[in-house]
Structure 1
Amino acid sequence: MTSAPLEKTAWQGATQTPAPQPGQGLIAQRTVDLNQLGEEPRLVNCPFCHHQVMTRVQKESTSATGMAAVGCCLFGGIICAFLPYCMEMCHDSHHFCTNCGQKVAIRPHDGQVQIFSPQNPVVTAPAHIPPPQAVAMTHENMGKN
């Protein structure tokens, strides 16, 4: 006794992911050097926690964003002043480690990447501290108390 083949509904066909074909596998992502970060999250080796993580990107407006807003206001009116804050062309991209939360790099909208790393520990000992000097107690010093 054989059963009729199961037909997929349009909803099932649209919501189910197709099975990978033979020879197709997951594409291994490669880590990116911190100095090559752009505006999008990327897989990096965190210099703080030493884990391989996808960065979290936070966009922040800069003084160039304010200047662009002033220019838009002068040429397009007060309604256009908010446009540079909505557009991401004048924003800096701050990359954070998703494991430890540390800021690993900043990608300015118009410059080179600024990389952050842990502070190097202090390995030098403090300078030699001389021992206290003995003070002779005289009868004059004792009488002042």
Structure 2
Amino acid sequence: MLPPGVYKKGSIDFLDIYREVITSLPREAGSVLTFIGVTKAFGLKEVKKLEMESYEELANSAIAEICKEVEEKYNVFLVRIYHLIGEFEVGEPLVFVVVVSRSRKEGLDALKEAIERYKSEPALWKKEIYLDDSYQWISHA
């Protein structure tokens, strides 16, 4: 399976990752939970597009650590976070999180923590470009 981390837009397909996950489930698995984050139209002002950048080595290390720690904390089978970098139009997907667990309760708890942590810990930055062509850099995606 593709390791969790940061990937250039167009280099991976979230549906392919999902298919791989569901075709290799442990027999004890009772839930597969996913989250897809998309570029939203409103940040500080109305957004035209978004540019995501990262310090890939640090971001990949942080994302791998988040996945490992969340797996252990909630005793789930799998946590994977895949974050895309590049230029995104409003509505385009840019992050995919998947959790495989025995039951939905620990899976939902693990998914929530994985989402909150990827938004604050890895070396990721977004540049919101607004309709008036002004922009704002925002640390942590």
TM tier relative to shorter chain:
under 0.3
Which protein has greater RCO, CA pairs closer than 8 Å, 6+ apart? Answer: 2
Please report the TM-score for the alignment, with normalisation by the length of structure 2: 0.24
More helix by share: 2
Highest Rg: 1 or 2? 1
Please report the TM-score for the alignment, with normalisation by the length of structure 1: 0.24
